[in-house]
Amino acid sequence: MAEQAAPAWKRVLEESGDQVIFLKGFFRNMFRGGFEWSEFVRQCYEIGYKSFTLVGTTAFIMGLVLALQLRPTLVDFGAESMLPRTLAVSIVREIGPVITAIICAGKIGSGIGAELGSMKVTEQIDAMDISGANPMQYLVVTRILATTLMVPLLTLLGDVLGLIGGFLATNISGNVSATLYFNKCIASIGFVDFVPAFIKTIFFGFVIGFIGCYKGYNSNRGTESVGLSANSAVVAASLWIFVIDAIVVQISNILLY
């Protein structure tokens, strides 16, 4: 049994080492001259703008459903007026960032993993490397920075649309004006709600880009590995999102409360 377990541990350790080397390569190439601005902007468009519809729709429905689920319980306790506050805090602090990050891990992480995996398999990355160009700088740095920038922005938009969804649900069975609803929402969100939540979305974005690039860039030869890269990018990024979430929440609880 011990003999069977050893190679798995060895693989985990080897992969961890490879990820550290890849991370070092990312930072080294990020601060090297000749930043690929045009590719970075293109990636921001591909990652941010093209994910907006999916993230926005999901966030809107999530806010709507959350409000519909919360309302009967709050009515039982005579606390219906707490609905905007409860919605705002839960969406801004936790549900918005995590749901947006999970959607982005599925859409963006798998996309990056598959794209770079397919470039690796068809020797495009090798061609770039052998020509004397720098594939880390062109392909990896731009994608990781784009996800690090766009996931927080998508989360902000998702938060707003989630609250709009909540407003719609509140008005299905009640009658609250938009001014009152949004005033209550904004008044209930403080520095301790918004800032830690925003900071963790930056880490979520980084992890989604980093894992996607790492898995794709290190695809083994063969078309099967393209699918595996995409799949493992989603699985690993999703896992890391929950780990980072738990760590950031714990740290912010210690520092801010």
Q: Is 138 one of the binding residues for another protein (CB under 8 A)?
A: yes
Residues 6 or more apart in contact with residue 183 via CB below 8 angstroms: none
**Min. distance of Cβ 126 from another protein in angstroms?**
7
Residue closer to another protein by CB (options 12, 130) is 130
Residue closer to another protein by CB (options 86, 219) is 219
Indicate which single residue of 69, 81, 122, 183 sits in contact with another protein (rule: CB under 8 A).
122
**Min. distance of Cβ 131 from another protein in angstroms?**
5
Indicate which single residue of 13, 21, 41, 133 sits in contact with another protein (rule: CB under 8 A).
133
DSSP 3-state assignment of 122?
coil
Among 76, 69, 92, residue whose Cα is nearest residue 252: 92
CA dist., res. 40 & res. 206, Å (int): 14
Residue closer to another protein by CB (options 123, 247) is 123
**What's the gap between Cα 62 and its chain centre?**
17
Instruction: Calculate ∠ Cα 55-60-65, nearest 5°.
Output: 125
For residue 257, what is the enclosing H or E element? none
Q: Is 14 one of the binding residues for another protein (CB under 8 A)?
A: no
Indicate which single residue of 57, 134, 171, 231 sits in contact with another protein (rule: CB under 8 A).
134
Indicate which single residue of 19, 90, 124, 231 sits in contact with another protein (rule: CB under 8 A).
124
CA dist., res. 194 & res. 131, Å (int): 46
Residue closer to another protein by CB (options 39, 94) is 39
Q: Is 131 one of the binding residues for another protein (CB under 8 A)?
A: yes
Are the beta carbons of 116 and 216 closer than 8 angstroms? yes
CA dist., res. 221 & res. 242, Å (int): 31
Residues 6 or more apart in contact with residue 154 via CB below 8 angstroms: 48, 51, 52, 55, 100, 104
Q: Is 128 one of the binding residues for another protein (CB under 8 A)?
A: yes
Residue closer to another protein by CB (options 119, 241) is 119
Report DSSP letters for 39-107, one per residue: HHHHHHIIIIIHHHHHHHHHHHHHHHHHHHHHHHHHHHTT-GGGHHHHHHHHIIIIIHHHHHHHHHIII
DSSP 3-state assignment of 223?
coil
**Min. distance of Cβ 257 from another protein in angstroms?**
47
Indicate which single residue of 130, 172, 178, 243 sits in contact with another protein (rule: CB under 8 A).
130
Q: Is 123 one of the binding residues for another protein (CB under 8 A)?
A: yes
Size of the site for another protein (CB under 8 A): 15
Residue closer to another protein by CB (options 88, 114) is 114
Residue closer to another protein by CB (options 128, 168) is 128
Which residues here bind another protein, judged by CB under 8 A?
115, 119, 122-124, 126-134, 138
